[in-house]
Chain A
Amino acid sequence: MQSFNQTFSATEPEQDYNFGYLDEQTKRMIRRAILKGVALPGYQVAFGGREMPMPYGWGTGGIMLSASILGQDDVFKVIDQGADDTTNAVSIRQFFAKVCHLETTTETAKASVIQTRHRIPEQPLRNDQILVFQVPIPEPLRFIEPRETETKKMHSLGEYGSMQVKLYEDIVKYGYIATSYAYPVMVHGRYLMDPSPIPKFDNPKMHQSNALMLFGAGREKRIYCIPPYTDVASLDFEDHPFSIQQWQAPCSLCGSETSFLDEVLIDDQGQRMFVCSDTDYCQGQLAKNAAEEALHG
């Protein structure tokens, strides 16, 4: 991941970059695609992407979206696996700090635009916030039907029975719906959508969300959106209803019983513990606990 910043700083001196790196015309074109996506919740809009100074898989789709919507007054946060301090998150945050000279933050509440891979923050979002997802594979029907012409037709005719088969096969194999990431959803009762590799734990947060959600796939050059207050339903069966992940014990650090936990190794002996994957949330809970303790002695 070293090369990310090296490549970038080696190319040109920073003052030569347009605000957000992309030229205004490209940003406008992407914003038009976003508007179309907002008008058709869950529909995949094709857009003419630009090459970004980093390889696909590093979040170029999300980066192009962020670059197109960020303004000078925005406060930008990047999360990767729930954390702000992974190489990928740090690189993207530095990239925008450099090409936009804007304020960045790790606090969910302070951010106006949050770019994410793998998670939706635990703290409920507001309607003045925008969540930008980095999407590796935008087409939920790809595994059933590799032909683009056919998946397009399936979307336009709303033929989604075959998606249900994937869940059926899960139950056949495991006795329950084992799909736990990129769990397919119906957006506003119309389009089937892949919510990107977030855990199904986060699916309910998309339903009637206050915040606008934008999804960008860099390699396949697709944008799709969930406007605020849109119905988002996870597919399931009557007798195998959708359910989210649960843990036996609360977060070992902050004690939260409602957040998504990651298992981490804590020593060479294979000792493990479960902690919040959303590091900002965990720190916030810790601070709150400390404040309460100080108050009540």
Chain B
Amino acid sequence: MDNLAQALPAQFNDPAEAPLLRAEGLSKLYAPGKGFEPVNLNLFPGEVLAIVGESGSGKTTLLKTLSGRLEPQQGEVIYQGNSQMPAASLYQISEAARRQLMRADFGIVHQHPMDGLRPRISAGGNIGERLMEVGARNYADIRRQALNWLTAVEIGADRIDDLPITFSGGMQQRLQIARNLVTHPKLVFMDEPTGGLDVSVQARLLDLIRNLVTELNLAVVIVTHDLAVARLLAHRIMVMKQGQVVETGLTDRVLDDPQHAYTQLLVSSVLQQ
């Protein structure tokens, strides 16, 4: 397996900058081949990593473990928000400390938007909840920020008091993204964010994600089975097959010159479409 730290794009190779997230010998297997085998990786501030592979290859399991939501069997996930902050090993600190860190610094975008939204709370309340969780107590200010974020994700301001169940799938996903970004996370985890959407809706959402990620200098780990999504968004790609990382590298290199037979197969099946 490649060491991802050695396959970094130049702009993320500044030795003065510490990785935001590190995984060391990380693994979680539900059964042989189900889950993921030991993974090492470094993710730097502002970097976008795509985890690709076919269904059942362990992408979601890995994402959950990296994002503090699923305890690994082996290894560590180490998060360091900035060089002034002490590094925290996600599964060694207390649950209270972990949840606090996740609230402050992480965003989680679920594949099914309603998994990350409250159906009976207005769109504004869904965005505002994150602010209130971290202590915001000024109604007018919470509302102003909710409005700004609705606009940023291209949802009409007049929908602020509507329930998310009245939204289209694409709008729900954009609302989920707004809810995650309102607290200015440093690192966002996305699991197939364009999954169940129509192609045209997907394209618009991808554009939006790409712009936001650049503008906010977000670090992102995105899971997708769609190589086009990875091509558009990611600096680096990690290819998984049956719980193993078979190839990693810069996006263009992996997609244009795949080394592993499985990656070659993935790339060629995309080309055939």
With both beta carbons as reference points, the residue of chain B lying nearest to A161 in the complex is identified as: B133
A159 to B139, CA, bound (A): 19
Query: Do B125 and A165 touch (CB < 8 A)?
Result: yes
Nearest Cβ in chain A — how far from B128, in angstroms? 6
Is B129 interfacial (CB 8 A cutoff)?
yes
Is A283 interfacial (CB 8 A cutoff)?
no
With both beta carbons as reference points, the residue of chain B lying nearest to A169 in the complex is identified as: B125
Query: Do A237 and B128 touch (CB < 8 A)?
Result: no
Is B134 interfacial (CB 8 A cutoff)?
yes
Query: Do B142 and A168 touch (CB < 8 A)?
Result: yes
Tally of contact residues, A, Cβ under 8 A = 18
Which B residues from 120 to 136 make CB contacts under 8 A with A?
A: 121-122, 124-125, 128-130, 132-134
Interface of B, secondary structure class, is helix
Task: Categorize the interface residue count of chain B.
Answer: 20 to 34
Partner of A240, one of B99, B128, B130, B139: B139
With both beta carbons as reference points, the residue of chain B lying nearest to A171 in the complex is identified as: B139
Most chain B CB neighbours (cut-off 10 Å) among A144, A158, A162, A164: A164
Partner of B129, one of A162, A171, A172, A237: A162
Given A168-B125, A169-B121, A172-B161, the answer on whether A159 and B99 have CB atoms closer than 8 Å is yes
Is A295 interfacial (CB 8 A cutoff)?
no
Is A1 interfacial (CB 8 A cutoff)?
no
Query: Do B122 and A172 touch (CB < 8 A)?
Result: yes
A157 to B124, CA, bound (A): 25
Query: Do B125 and A172 touch (CB < 8 A)?
Result: yes
Residue-wise interface mask of A (141-168) relative to B, using a CB-CB cutoff of 8 A (1 in contact, 0 not): 0001000000000001111011011001
B positions within 8 Å CB-CB of A: 95-96, 99, 118, 121-122, 124-125, 128-130, 132-134, 137-140, 142, 161
> Given known contacts A156-B96, A164-B137, A239-B140, what 5 new A-B pairs fall within 8 Å (CB)?
A162-B129, A164-B129, A165-B128, A168-B124, A169-B122
